[in-house]
Amino acid sequence: MMSKTALGRFLSISVLTCACLPTLFSGCTPKNASSEAMKNSKPSIPVLTVTPCDAKVETEYSAMLEGKGNVDIRPEVDGKLGAICVEEGAFVKAGQTLFKIDDRYYREQFNSALAAQHAAEASLATAKLNEEKLVPLVQGGVVSDIQLKTAKTATQAAAATVEQLKATARSSKVNLEYTTLKAPMSGYIGKILFRQGNLVSKNQQIVLTTLSDVSSIYANFSMSELAFMQFREQYAGTTIPEKVKKVSPVTFVMADGTSYSEKGSLGTISGQFDQGFGSMRVRALFPNPKALLRAGSIGKVVIETLYHNALLVPQAATVDLQDKLLVGVVGPGGIVKKQVITIAAKSGDNYVVTDGLTPGAVIVKTGLDKLKDGAVIKPLSAAPPAVASLPVKDVHK
């Protein structure tokens, strides 16, 4: 039989044990329930619906200007530069005198040739007179026919000598005229590399100056092979010239960042690629009535391309994987499937998608890099990207 003291201790321990059990069970049950809830929860991710729209894309190409006509002014005779009749940067008209070479030697050469010509003409006249005198004598039987034939031969020889000396005189006159260098067209004078008194030669490599016709001006730039292939697909037509005619007027952005006031037109495209650079030479023609553009200047040619019913995707909604661009397409039940897309251009925050998405598709807007393929999310709707004029860089350069 248990004593009263022992019985009291047993009852105290039993009460304490029973009091602790509810506390232990109450602490374990909420923890297990929370883990199960976290396991079954879906992350809330913002999404957007891709809708078709028209987008204007501006592609920039670095360009260098070239005058519509550039002519190197070179001496065509040897001599001393006697006079420089223009200044660098001056506008000259066709036929205006630019340089003069000391012409004394060439003038004397011409005078000598002209004198020889006149002497030959006199000899020809004498030969004709001799021939004419023999005609009645031969007819009268006074002299033989051989003498008349000899006289005719002398006349022919004198005539040939006259023609030869005329050619020599003309050649001397051309050389004399070459001592005055005139503008072959209207335009602006470039840098003058010689000074009065310098010796010049028709065989020298250095030009006296360059004359540029800038009434219209070419902007030369290069288009990559990929850009050229996309150009062929973008515009209608069976030939390249037909496609070029479909291109909208182009803009030239000057070195200070301002746009030139006159619009230009895409001109010619080279017939073959430059093997060294893998690019094709293209030129655009701009009117230049006020001569604001000058040959040798640099800037950018901007070509506008209009994409009808284009699909725009924010760059933040994509991820790069092994040279491929992926978006997260949200399907039924919030299941995310990563999809490869093809883009035609990019602008600031958006891509212009040409393949891989269909209108009405719902995609993950942000956080795709943190989601696995097949992840389940709770979509949070977001507005589609704003559409406006989309200035872009050339994505192929």
Mean pLDDT of 276-302: 86
For residues 75 and 101, the answer to whether their CB atoms sit within 8 Å is yes
What is the structure's pLDDT at 348? 62
- Mean pLDDT computed over every residue of the chain: 83
Classify domain 60-66+215-304 at the CATH topology level.
Answer: Elongation Factor Tu (Ef-tu); domain 3 (2.40.30)
Determine the average pLDDT of the residues in 106-127.
94
Residue 45 β-bridge partners? 379
* pLDDT recorded at residue 331: 92
Q: Is the pLDDT score of 17 beyond 50?
A: no
pLDDT at 240 over 90: no
Mean predicted confidence (pLDDT) in 208-227: 88
Between CA 369 and CA 320 the distance in angstroms is 9
User: Is the alpha carbon torsion for 273, 275, 279, 280 positive or negative?
Assistant: negative
pLDDT number for residue 132: 86
Provide the residue ranges of all domains of the chain, joining segments of one domain with +.
44-57+307-393, 60-66+215-304, 75-98+185-206, 104-178
Residue matched to tokens 């004399």: 176
CA–CA separation, 1 vs 3, rounded Å?
6
pLDDT at 277: 63
In the predicted model, what is the mean pLDDT of residues 228-252? Answer: 84
CA distance 9 to 16: 11
Q: How far apart are CA 167 and CA 144, in angstroms?
A: 36
Class of domain 44-57+307-393: mainly beta
| Mean pLDDT along residues 117-142 | 88
| Dihedral sign computed on CA atoms, order 85, 88, 94, 99 | positive
Chain CA centroid to CA 204, Å: 33
Query: Alpha-carbon distance 304 to 100, whole Å?
Result: 49
Specify the pairing of strand 389-393 against strand 52-73.
parallel
Burial class of residue 127 (count of CB atoms within 10 Å of its CB; 0-12, 13-18, 19+): buried
pLDDT at 242: 85
Query: Pick the residue with more confidence: 9 or 52?
Result: 52
At 12 the three-state DSSP class reads helix
Tokens representing 245?
Answer: 């005619």
DSSP 8-state secondary structure symbol assigned to residue 332? G
For residues 69-86, average pLDDT: 93
Judged against a pLDDT cut of 60, whether residue 67 lies above it is answered with: yes
- Tell me, letter by letter, the H, E, C secondary structure of 207-220: CCEEEEEEEEEEEE
63-67, 193-197, 231-235: least confident range: 231-235
Give the per-residue pLDDT at 275. 63
At residue 232, the pLDDT reads 81
Task: Tell which wins on pLDDT, 144 or 284.
Answer: 284
Q: Is the pLDDT of residue 397 over 60?
A: no
pLDDT digits (tens, 9 = 90+) for 26-55: 444 454 544 444 445 788 899 999 988 888
Assign 258 to helix, strand or coil. Answer: coil
Phi (first) and psi of residue 3, to 5 degrees: -75, 165
- More confident position, 39 or 152: 152
Q: Could you write out the DSSP letters of every residue in 194-254?
A: --TT-EE-TT-SS-SEEEEEEEEEEEEEEEEHHHHHHHHHHS--SSHHHHHHTSPPBEEE-
CATH architecture of 104-178: Orthogonal Bundle (1.10)
Least confident of 89-93, 232-236, 240-244, 246-250: 232-236
Compute the half-sphere exposure of residue 366: CA atoms within 13 Å on the CB side of its CA: 8
| Percent of the chain residues past pLDDT 70, beyond the cut | 83
Is pLDDT at 281 greater than 80 in this prediction?
A: yes
- End-to-end CA distance of the chain: give it in Å, rounded: 101
**Confidence grade of residue 23 (pLDDT, cut at 50, 70, 90):** very low
> Residue 59's pLDDT is what?
85
pLDDT at residue 22 is higher than 80: no
Quick check: 230 pLDDT over 90? no
Rounded CA-CA distance 251/258 in Å is 10
Predicted confidence (pLDDT) per residue in 331-371, tens digit = 999 999 999 999 887 766 888 898 899 999 999 998 898 89
